Amino acid sequence: MDKRNFSIGVILLIAAFAMLIFGPRSTPSTQPAVPHQPITTAQPASSSPAVAGPEAPKPAPNGAAAAPVSTFAAISRDAANATVTTLSNDFIEARLTNFGGAVREVAFKKYPAELKRPEPYVFNQLHEAPMLALSDFPGLNHDTAYQVVSSSATEVVYRTVLDERIEVTRRYRLMKDGEAGADPYRIHHETTFRNLTASPVALPRASLSIGTAGPLNSSDPAQYLSVASYDGKDTNFIARGDLDGGGIGSIVGAGSPAKPMLEHTGPILWTGVKNQFFTSLYTSEKPGVSVTARRIELPPFPESKVPNIGLAGAARFDLPGLGPNGSQRLAGVLFVGPQEYKRLAKFEHNEDRVLPYTQYFFNRIFLSGYVAPLLNTLLNATHRWVGNWGVAVILMTLILKFVSLPFTLAASKSAKRMSKLQPLMQEIREKYKDNPQKQQQATMELFKAHKVNPLGGCIPILITMPLFIGFFSMLQSPAELRFQPFLWAKDLADQDTVAYIFGIRLNIMPLLMGATMWYQMKLTPTPSVDNMQVKMMKFMPVIFTLFCYSFSCALALYSTINGIFTIVQQVIINRMKDDPGPGSPGTAAVTTISALGKGMKGMKNVTPKPATSKKKLK
């Protein structure tokens, strides 16, 4: 039983490690490296003529092939000709463009773009289209020039007329304190279509761009880039890796090709595009019909040869037709800001589910959707008490260890008892190596005689797993940890690199984590005498260190403190006196195995009829 479970664990670990190394990768860029040009803000021109832009290209059928999009040309055109209006409060500066009548980008005043530099982080700075720009609507897209009807510090209104038949008005307003659902990172949006004729007009299905998310820097593996959507019950995630192609088969040239687009259908209450720390999230008044994710090629980072591949999301809506002189409205609220659980949790449609707590099956089976939010709240409360995020992570790790202490003590004691039974179990395996049925029966009798539960070391650990998996999930993307220093680490949300050796990062915390794991396994009683299993167990710390080497400092800090606590715990357990009965290698153990041997030997010497033999075995 032990050998089989161990083998399964090793196979799963190797599979995870292989996916890390040979998983989906970005395809090489075919575009020249062109640096991003900053966009100069212009004052609104209230007398600009209303111009209907060129007809938008019709959308390709679902699943149709298309090349990844390079957005530099669109950015340059927008920079040269746009009229930019700024809406601002103490938290954001939203820059809207008359091209598409949409939100070009949003700067976060509380979050810098780089460590120790004052410039704010700008979401959607490199983009396929402005946020909330229309697409899949012939004549209305991000190239359509709108007239600025009115503007103030908190509101702007755009207008254009399509084919002299449909008036399109787009209004954006920063939400005020006291307003239902108000938040400084939320912008209320409303698009009105009005029929200027006396005849009915049909409206096509339209898409609203939710934004473009790209890697934060040249070393960002982009594993957190995704397009999320919520249908009122479940959250769906389309990760960038789902479109990258590649896979294990790519080693022999048989990997799957990159996908240009994926679509998730169904009622959509909100749609979000996010990177590790920030998100744009649109909650519509009426549910959408689907959400699309497109693989986007962005301008490369300076002095980097790594392709800069991002992800663009859009929500699709069915628009009802317009009656004579009638009108229809498409409205909702756009959140563009940090992924702070406390902030997102107060919204009305479970917008906090954009966080990656339930993104993977592994998180869901260990109930991270319930545990991670609770631990996030406790971590923030701990930080308010101690004033340092690194200390808060350490204290939270210790709290979790103390809460789970009764279970881990039970598991450790069970492992210690099992290790003392290994010589007797080895005798049984050798004695009945040609008869698995008798071997299993003798093993179970041995457990029963010594009052040892073979699952005693597994069940207590499984009970505590939701706590540690939830904490691990929570530490992956809290914006609060970004650029927070601790000890030698400059950023708890990034690797704690102290130097580069031949171009390879030297990260101290993962190495400490591996050392604690090695010493912990050295102290822990091994519930097996199989030589191959023992060797594999000794190799586990190396595998885990490699697997976790690129994790953020906060995750490595958590794992290291967890390992140190477990070492102290195991030292105490090893010094405790053995229980007099179960697992002690004294006379009782020898008597038990001898009795079992004689009983089995007697059964072997008797040659009854088959039916009688089965009866005796029972």
Which DSSP string do the residues of 245-282 spell out, in sequence order? -B-GGGGGT-PBPPPSEEEEEEEEEEEEEE-SSEEEEE
CA-CA distance, 337 to 123, in Å (whole number)? 8
Q: What is the pLDDT of residues 27-80, one digit of tens each?
A: 333 333 333 333 333 333 333 333 333 333 333 333 333 334 444 444 545 556
**Contact assessment for residue 340 and residue 184, using Cβ atoms and an 8 Å cutoff:** no
- pLDDT higher than 80, residue 581: no
pLDDT score at 187: 95
Q: How far apart are the first and last CA of the chain?
A: 20
Q: What is the pLDDT of residue 149?
A: 93
How far, in Å, CA of 299 to CA of 529, rounded?
A: 56
- Compute how many other C-beta atoms are within 10 angstroms of the C-beta atom of residue 99: 24
Using 50, 70 and 90 to split pLDDT, how confident is the model at 113?
Answer: confident
- Across residues 326-338, what is the average pLDDT? 93
- 222-254 confidence digits (pLDDT tens): 888 999 999 989 899 998 888 887 655 444 444
CA distances in angstroms from 86 to 89, 151, 296, 529, listed in the order given:
10, 9, 26, 70
Q: CA nearest 562: which of 523, 527, 525, 512?
A: 512
Tens of pLDDT, residue by residue over 501-558, are: 877 778 888 888 888 888 877 776 655 545 666 666 677 777 777 777 777 888 888 8
Max CA separation in the chain (angstroms) = 107
Rounded Cα gap, residues 315 and 134, in angstroms: 10
Cβ-based burial of 601 (10 A; exposed 0-12, middle 13-18, buried ≥19) = exposed
Cβ-contact 121, 109 below 8 angstroms: no
Tell which wins on pLDDT, 304 or 156. 156
pLDDT for residue 312: 93
State mean pLDDT over 458-484: 78
Q: Return all residues near 107 (Cβ < 8 A) that are at least 6 apart.
A: 92, 93, 95, 120, 121, 122, 123
339 φ, ψ to 5°?
Answer: -85, 75
Please state, in angstroms and rounded to a whole number, the distance separating the CA atoms of residues 139 and 145.
11
The amino acid at 245: G
Query: So what's the pLDDT on residue 402?
Result: 84
Judged by average pLDDT, the poorest of 67-81, 184-198, 329-343 is: 67-81
Query: pLDDT category, 578, cuts 50, 70, 90?
Result: low
For the chain, where do the domains classified as CATH 2.70.98.90 start and end? Answer: 42-354
List, for residues 13-28, the tens digit of each pLDDT value: 444 444 443 333 333 3
Is residue 562 scored above 60 in pLDDT?
A: yes
Among residues of the chain, what percentage have pLDDT more than 90?
27
Question: What percentage of the chain has pLDDT greater than the value 70?
Answer: 71
Say whether pLDDT at 156 is over 90.
yes
Average pLDDT over every residue of 323-329: 91
Q: Which residues pair with 489 in a beta bridge?
A: 486
Question: Which pLDDT value is given to residue 570?
Answer: 75
The correct CATH number of 42-354 out of 3.30.365.10, 3.40.50.300, 2.70.98.90, 3.10.180.10 is: 2.70.98.90
* Residue 50: C-alpha distances to residues 45, 144, 217 (Å): 12, 10, 39
> Does residue 205 register a pLDDT over 70?
yes
Is the pLDDT score of 160 beyond 90?
Answer: yes
Q: Is the pLDDT of residue 375 over 70?
A: yes
- Note whether 531 and 428 are within 8 A (CB): no
Measured CA to CA, the distance from residue 253 to residue 593 in angstroms comes to 57
- Per-residue confidence (pLDDT) for residue 263, from 0 to 100: 92
Kindly indicate the confidence band of residue 180, based on its pLDDT and cuts at 50, 70 and 90.
confident
Mean pLDDT of the chain: 75
Question: pTM (2 decimals)?
Answer: 0.74
**Mean pLDDT of all residues in 157-166:** 92
Tokens representing 68 are: 């990844």
Q: 610 is written with which tokens? A: 């088959």
Residue 394's alpha-carbon distances to 17, 382, 560, in angstroms, are 27, 10, 9
Q: How far is Cα 56 from Cα 458, in angstroms, rounded to an integer?
A: 60
Alpha carbons 28 and 291: distance in angstroms, whole number: 27
Q: What band does 616 get if pLDDT is binned at 50, 70 and 90?
A: very low
Average of per-residue pLDDT across 468-472: 82
Between 82 and 582, residue with greater pLDDT = 82
Tell which wins on pLDDT, 161 or 533. 161
Range name among 31-35, 340-344, 441-445 with the lowest pLDDT average? 31-35
- Give the model's confidence band at 604: pLDDT under 50 very low, under 70 low, under 90 confident, else very high: very low
For β-strands 69-70 and 278-298, DSSP reports them as parallel
Q: Is the pLDDT of residue 599 over 50?
A: no
> What value does the mean pLDDT take over residues 114-132?
89
Residue 393: name the closest of 406, 405, 402, 380 by CA.
Answer: 380
Integer angstrom CA distances of residue 312 from 127, 223, 501:
8, 15, 36
Query: In angstroms, rounded to a whole number, what is the distance separating the alpha carbons of residues 399 and 403?
Result: 6
Per-residue pLDDT, 579? 53
Per-residue confidence (pLDDT) for residue 427, from 0 to 100: 74
Cβ atoms < 10 Å from Cβ of 515: 15
| Token pair 């979401």: residue | 123
